[in-house]
Structure 1
Amino acid sequence: MKRVRLSIVGFGVVGQGLAELLHTKRELLRRTFSLEVVLVSVSNSRHGFIYRDEGLDIPTLLDLSARRQPLTQHADIQHWPNALEGLQATTADVLAEATWTNLQDAEPGISHIRAALTKGIHVISANKGPAALAATELLTLAQQHGVQLRLEATVMAGTPILSTVQEGMAGVNIHAVRGILNGTTNYILTAMARGRNYAEVLAEAQGLGYAEADPTADVEGYDVVAKTLILAALVFGQSLKPEQVKREGITGITREQIQQAAHEGKRIKLVASLSRAADMPAAPLEARVEPIALAAEDALAQVNGVMNALTFHSDSLSSVTIIGPGAGRLETGQGLLADLIAVSKTL
């Protein structure tokens, strides 16, 4: 039985989702992968970093979080005021970084990841900020220290996008990628295609928890820009800056435009696209995030509601489309779990 010591930094929705999966799938992990995961530390912004060398009790942690009680109420723990201090003072085999996404400077997640990699700790992350702004730097740092950095959960949650490219499509020359990468905007555009107006559907999406109180990151396309930058780095090996992505959100889309597209047999979707300017690996990438009226026969045009999808255009496989959830507590937790299992196989 392989024993892996795990630290979860960012014990919010996603971190708790991973912890819940570790608990409910404990026997499956033991039976199928001969893997025992021991959660030795967790942290959140309110209660700091707690550590127990023998392992923390996951049901206790989830109960404390549900009742909004301090994690420090867990018995027999050591405590540090913040995650960075705790990471530097303790040990683990793998760090799961699930703090909030900051697309300005990627803090505090990027500091957590750098600290872990420098200590020789493998990192799995759901945080889009470090992946979007510094993927190449962090992957190089991981290589220098002989550890892995895996980022499956940063694009389409637990839907296997990056692992499909890196493993399932190994040897394929991908020349373009197009995708629907934000469930909030897809939900809004799907509802507008049924005759409803933008303001009404946005309010509904906020009520259902699909959209934040301030929906700017979603509806103006910034969230999709971040995922586009991640795909540029991990699929094409090219580092782009946010300003290199031509961005247009959906706030200017009218019901009349939706109806006109439907009259032409098309559907408007917010589409992220990456394509090489020439058929050469080092050719510059063109990156765009914009509403596009797609022909009904386009696979992306059939993706509705909060679902996401990504189409890869390549040489030997022509086009491959992957459809699945792009957000959610357990869905994103599953992306982290898949990466944890992948890392454990190399330990």
Structure 2
Amino acid sequence: MFRLLFFGFGNVGQALAQLLIEKKDSLSERYGFEYKTVGIVDMLKGSVINNAGLDLSKALKMVSQDESLNKYPGGETGIMGLDAINKADADVLLEMTYTDIKTAEPATAHIKTAFQKKMHVVTSNKGPLALFYRELKSLADEKGVEFLFEGTIMSGTPLLNLIRETLAGSEILKVQGILNGTTNFILTKMEEGMAYEQALKKAQELGYAEAVPDADVKGWDALAKTTILANVVFNKMLKPDDIPCQGITDVTSEHIKKAKSGNQRYKLLASVEKKNGEIIAGVSPVKICLSHPLASVNGAVNALTITTDTLEDVTIVGPGAGRKQTGYSMLIDLLTIGGKK
């Protein structure tokens, strides 16, 4: 029986909770995975801790009605931050809090505290991985716990599991792909005839881009994911500032038309490659031939081509964002841990 502590109960946390409720019987029957929730902590929605177990359905109903979890009947309420981690008798911290990508806080502090208590950690937060992966992984190994983060790269599309499990024994020589759905959507719309500003506005209307879209269009989101890939897959110790990054803000309609006339297409590509004993990483808009496997990936979709010494190129395509999809990524990692207890 795994005791779960939710840190963050927004879209992703609620999606994970719904999946755990819907699949409770099948998770037990197929994987032997059984759980109870001992705490839910959210900066805006309140908190409740009960080591005897909470009713996830009740918690979901409360937040759907804009009722604070501080009013949950039964359990200690109003406990936040590190105090909640220390109070909860949990096996797994599910870290999904809003975190500053520049400092990776408060998620990094939450993760470190959980490791000190010998809790496994599953997170969807890119910041701690991009800035402090090596330190956090070393602490997890020292404490004998798992540190998993499938949702940080391609949401619920199981990229890291593919590399870790299915491609076990293969040497990864290069990864290259589309790791930001917003910019891919914009470039697709530009090829259809929209100007950059029109395509961006459409992305914002559909909820793909934020009102201030810099993290997407300047390449910062893809950069964080590239840093994670370099450190996790290629065992480097890079920070985002070590990797050259160029977004799509300088790509014009003329660039798009010229590429199209030459049977090429612009994509914002993230890449990490072993070359002459060095690891070369970067994010930039690149013209690729229409015959390339990544050229047909259009709209708000992600894809990554993995070059190996055994199978040559393997390409995985799937959603790179989304409430349910990211919640599912957390479930994938929970099941990975579930086989280790």
User: In structure 1, what is the Cα distance between the partners aligned to 2:119 and 2:294?
Assistant: 38
User: In structure 2, what is the Cα distance between the partners aligned to 1:300 and 1:24?
Assistant: 34
User: In structure 1, what is the Cα distance between the partners aligned to 2:58 and 2:217?
Assistant: 37
- Residue 310 of structure 1: aligned partner: 304
The unaligned stretches of length 5 or more in structure 2 are none
Alignment of 1:135-284 (within 5 A): 135-278=133-276, 283-284=277-278
User: In structure 2, what is the Cα distance between the partners aligned to 1:228 and 1:50?
Assistant: 36
Count of matched residue positions in the alignment of Structure 1 and Structure 2 = 341
Larger mean CA deviation between 69-78 and 298-307 belongs to 69-78
Query: 1:181 touches 1:308 (CA, 8 Å); kept in 2?
Result: yes
- Residue 69 of structure 2: aligned partner: 71
Q: Does 1:287 align with 2:285?
A: no
Stretches (4+) displaced over 3 A: none
Give the alignment's TM-score, normalised by structure 2.
Answer: 0.98
How far is the alpha carbon of 1:48 from its aligned partner?
A: 4.2
Query: 2:9 touches 2:45 (CA, 8 Å); kept in 1?
Result: no
How far is the alpha carbon of 1:290 from its aligned partner?
A: 0.4
How far is the alpha carbon of 1:56 from its aligned partner?
A: 1.6
Give the alignment's TM-score, normalised by structure 1.
Answer: 0.96
User: In structure 1, what is the Cα distance between the partners aligned to 2:163 and 2:251?
Assistant: 33
Percent of counterpart pairs with the same letter?
42
- Residue 4 of structure 1: aligned partner: 2
- Residue 103 of structure 2: aligned partner: 105
Query: 1:11 touches 1:42 (CA, 8 Å); kept in 2?
Result: yes
Q: Map Cα deviations across residues 235-287 of structure 1 (whole Å, 9 max, x no partner).
A: 10111111111111111111111111110001100000111231xxxx33111
User: In structure 2, what is the Cα distance between the partners aligned to 1:61 and 1:207?
Assistant: 31
**RMSD in angstroms over aligned alpha carbons?**
1.1
User: In structure 1, what is the Cα distance between the partners aligned to 2:16 and 2:45?
Assistant: 19
Q: Map Cα deviations across residues 139-193 of structure 1 (whole Å, 9 max, x no partner).
A: 1100000101011111101111111111111111111110100111111111111
The unaligned stretches of length 5 or more in structure 1 are none
Q: Map Cα deviations across residues 194-221 of structure 1 (whole Å, 9 max, x no partner).
A: 1111111211111111111111101100
Query: 2:71 touches 2:77 (CA, 8 Å); kept in 1?
Result: no
Q: Map Cα deviations across residues 7-66 of structure 1 (whole Å, 9 max, x no partner).
A: 110111111111111111111112211222211111111244321122221222222222
How far is the alpha carbon of 1:295 from its aligned partner?
A: 0.5
Query: 1:184 touches 1:218 (CA, 8 Å); kept in 2?
Result: yes
User: In structure 2, what is the Cα distance between the partners aligned to 1:320 and 1:118?
Assistant: 38
Alignment of 1:75-86 (within 5 A): 75-86=73-84
User: In structure 2, what is the Cα distance between the partners aligned to 1:201 and 1:149?
Assistant: 38
Is the alpha carbon distance of 1:52 and 1:81 closer, same or farther for their aligned partners in structure 2, counting shifts above 3 Å?
closer
Q: Does 1:334 align with 2:328?
A: yes
